[in-house]
A = this chain, B = another copy of it.
């Protein structure tokens, strides 16, 4: 086992290489890394089988499924890396070009972040995805995955480094922390000057720990208490389709709907239809039904569980939907302002002015009009990839693509100017 400090030193030793990586070199390396993953399929599957065997009975079946690889999934890891090759190189973009009266030429250009640390949990694809994203963005990565997936992650990193070696690149571009205890996470959080950006990807506890304790710059990826507001001027057919999709298409993810707000003018017509759609109809179709947790006004219209005090502030990640009746768009906006995690919130309305007001006043990373909150995703946004969804307001907000993994620098060229 290598000490975390040694691994950090190895990552930092490649800074000179990073500054000189061309698009062509990076793309060749990505191709070689993908090929190496496929060539190492057997070793990766063997390591993964050990992880899975050790995890059985320790973590739940959903987590076991997330952890498990087969030949198809290993091919998927390689394809995930290859998908980055055609994407635009985010480094070296001129963001501003300023010519000053004194003759100075000032350019603001995108530049590699340097060393990016990622603390994550047990999905093996994060290892290869994160390494590939960082490389395409011109940075070295320091990966610190969960204990359950460590053998898999180590085998994947061995393959990725073989790909780097094929291209004559130093292995320090992709680094995996051997120590999966809390000590190594703490060391990364305090690696001032050695880690330019720390990205925690995982549960609320991990993210909170990073925000509270990290002294290195940290990007908060977030939990989602996402709202759909069905306005008085909503097309109720669209609203039914959107609410069912936002709630049930994948309830375990952060962009799933947790709270439904319905304007009182349409609640009497809408809620019974919604109740039928989410319970009776789904039951008949053999799909999981949705438990509705109702505020008193909604409970007067349809049967359901009475909403408790915390139900409007909970990320259920389950087939549960809190429902509240509001009397105006302003009340909906106020409720969202007070209870949203500012991830993704939607309005369903045919009234353009109400939509414009909602979009202006709802202060969330993604604000939707007449579509499902489930679209908050780098791929769905056309970014080609993502490193997570930022719910903070600095640097990156919403899906983080390659651009958000870069920094910028000012390059000022003169001919002897002084101030």
Least CB distance, A287 to chain B, in whole angstroms: 15
Cα–Cα distance between A407 and B111 once the two chains are bound (Å): 20
A89-111 CB mask vs B (1 if < 8 Å, else 0) is 00000000010100010101001
Report whether A361 and B393 are in contact in the complex, using a CB–CB cutoff of 8 Å: no
Cα–Cα distance between A19 and B212 once the two chains are bound (Å): 29
Cα–Cα distance between A392 and B192 once the two chains are bound (Å): 11
Report whether B370 and A219 are in contact in the complex, using a CB–CB cutoff of 8 Å: no
A409 interface residue (CB < 8 Å to B): yes
Residues from chain B with Cβ under 8 Å of A366 in the complex: 409-412
Residues from chain B with Cβ under 8 Å of A215 in the complex: 211-212
Report whether A241 and B416 are in contact in the complex, using a CB–CB cutoff of 8 Å: yes
Cα–Cα distance between A86 and B19 once the two chains are bound (Å): 38
How many identical chains are in the complex? Answer: 2
Report whether A20 and B360 are in contact in the complex, using a CB–CB cutoff of 8 Å: yes
A57 interface residue (CB < 8 Å to B): no
Report whether B414 and A394 are in contact in the complex, using a CB–CB cutoff of 8 Å: no
Residues from chain B with Cβ under 8 Å of A360 in the complex: 19-20
A66 interface residue (CB < 8 Å to B): no
Report whether A19 and B361 are in contact in the complex, using a CB–CB cutoff of 8 Å: yes
A371-395 CB mask vs B (1 if < 8 Å, else 0) is 1101110001110000000001111
CB-based nearest B residue for A406 = B393
Least CB distance, A393 to chain B, in whole angstroms: 4
A397 interface residue (CB < 8 Å to B): yes
Other-chain residue from B245, B333, B407, B415 in contact with A419 (beta carbon distance below 8 A): B245
Residues from chain B with Cβ under 8 Å of A367 in the complex: 409-412
Cα–Cα distance between A414 and B375 once the two chains are bound (Å): 11
Report whether B238 and A368 are in contact in the complex, using a CB–CB cutoff of 8 Å: no
CB-based nearest B residue for A213 = B215
Report whether A197 and B393 are in contact in the complex, using a CB–CB cutoff of 8 Å: yes
Given the contacts A235-B416, A414-B370, A393 and B15 also touching, CB distance less than 8 Å = no
Residues from chain B with Cβ under 8 Å of A397 in the complex: 407-410
Within 8 A of B (CB), among A169-219: 196-197, 211-212, 215, 217, 219
Cα–Cα distance between A397 and B197 once the two chains are bound (Å): 13
Report whether B398 and A409 are in contact in the complex, using a CB–CB cutoff of 8 Å: yes
Report whether B104 and A197 are in contact in the complex, using a CB–CB cutoff of 8 Å: no
Cα–Cα distance between A102 and B68 once the two chains are bound (Å): 32
Residues from chain B with Cβ under 8 Å of A382 in the complex: 98, 100, 106
Quick one: which of A212, A238, A417 has the most chain B CB within 10 A?
A417
Other-chain residue from B212, B394, B395, B416 in contact with A242 (beta carbon distance below 8 A): B416
Report whether B419 and A249 are in contact in the complex, using a CB–CB cutoff of 8 Å: yes
A214-236 CB mask vs B (1 if < 8 Å, else 0) is 01010110000000000000010
Other-chain residue from B98, B235, B371, B409 in contact with A418 (beta carbon distance below 8 A): B371
A413 interface residue (CB < 8 Å to B): yes
Report whether A412 and B363 are in contact in the complex, using a CB–CB cutoff of 8 Å: no
A328-368 CB mask vs B (1 if < 8 Å, else 0) is 00000100010000000000000000010001110111111
Cα–Cα distance between A302 and B374 once the two chains are bound (Å): 69
CB-based nearest B residue for A112 = B363
Given the contacts A370-B416, A416-B371, A410 and B113 also touching, CB distance less than 8 Å = no
8 contacts between A and B (CB under 8 A): A15-B363, A20-B360, A359-B411, A367-B411, A368-B413, A371-B415, A375-B417, A376-B410
Q: Would you list the 6 A-B pairs with minimal beta carbon distance, nearest first?
A: A371-B414, A245-B418, A393-B407, A395-B395, A238-B416, A371-B417
Known: A249-B419, A374-B418, A394-B407. 10 other contacts (CB 8 A): A16-B333, A16-B361, A20-B361, A217-B393, A359-B411, A367-B412, A368-B412, A372-B417, A394-B395, A397-B410
